[in-house]
């Protein structure tokens, strides 16, 4: 039986369990797993800024058991070339991309897998932002106001 080569792409910023679950499932689907990691320049073009640099995101993904090769993702239209170049049998993305890459079915199988619910790099970034000093100061001030209000009502009662 010839080897099955699987290909996927992603930013993989603030690597989390959703990313890990996906890569482990992809590794089980084939014999060789290739992962295209979006470069910082490509992400800038998508209006996205990663917390973790491309070099570090690629190193983290490359260290995941089951990942055989990491390639840089520099453009939207490189997928066709990558599929031909690496003789890909199966192209897979999370289902937040459902239908977006059906045109690649001319070249290989295309699959969309259910995402892991409840975790995303965007959510983690929002939580981190809420912890920045300015937000903390605002929260403290709001709590201060609440505290004074409560003691005022206690005095009234
Ligand atoms: N993912 C998942 N579960 C989550 C979060 C992400 O299964 N809770 C999957 C996504 O569906 C995607 C992969 O993990 O298939 C990487 O997700 P992102 O890092 O958010 O990548 P994205 O910005 O979607 O980049 O050309 C395609 C792009 O590179 C995709």
Phi, psi of 92 (to 5 degrees): -135, 140
79-101 pLDDT, tens digit per residue, is: 999 999 999 999 999 999 999 99
Tell me the CA distances in angstroms from 117 to 44, 71, 120, one per residue in order.
26, 27, 8
pLDDT at 63: 98
Confidence (pTM): 0.87
The CA 84 to ligand 1 mean position distance, Å, reads: 22
For a substitution probing ligand 1, which of 64, 94, 97, 119 has the most ligand atoms within 8 Å of its CB?
Answer: 94
pLDDT at 13: 95
8-39 pLDDT, tens digit per residue, is: 999 999 999 999 999 999 999 999 999 999 99
Contact of 82 with 7, CB cutoff 8 Å: yes
Pocket lined around ligand 1, Cβ cut-off 6 Å? 9-12, 18-19, 22, 38, 73, 93-94, 96, 115-116, 119-121
pLDDT at 7: 98
For a substitution probing ligand 1, which of 12, 18, 37 has the most ligand atoms within 8 Å of its CB?
Answer: 18
């Amino acid at each position: 039986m010839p080897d099955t080569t699987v290909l996927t792409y992603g930013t993989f910023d603030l690597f989390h369990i959703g990313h890990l679950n996906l890569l482990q499932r992809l590794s089980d689907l084939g014999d060789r797993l290739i992962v295209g990691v979006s470069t910082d320049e490509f992400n800038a073009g998508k209006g996205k800024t990663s917390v973790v640099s491309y070099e570090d995101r690629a190193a983290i993904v490359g260290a995941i058991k089951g990942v055989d090769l990491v390639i840089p993702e520099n453009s939207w239209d490189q997928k066709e070339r990558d599929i031909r170049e690496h003789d890909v049998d199966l192209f897979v993305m999370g289902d937040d991309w459902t239908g977006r890459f059906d045109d690649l079915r001319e070249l290989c199988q295309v699959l969309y897998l259910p995402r892991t619910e409840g975790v995303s790099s965007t959510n983690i970034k929002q939580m981190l932002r809420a912890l920045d000093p300015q937000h903390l100061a605002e929260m403290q001030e709001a709590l201060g106001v609440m505290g004074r209000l409560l003691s005022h009502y206690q005095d009234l009662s």
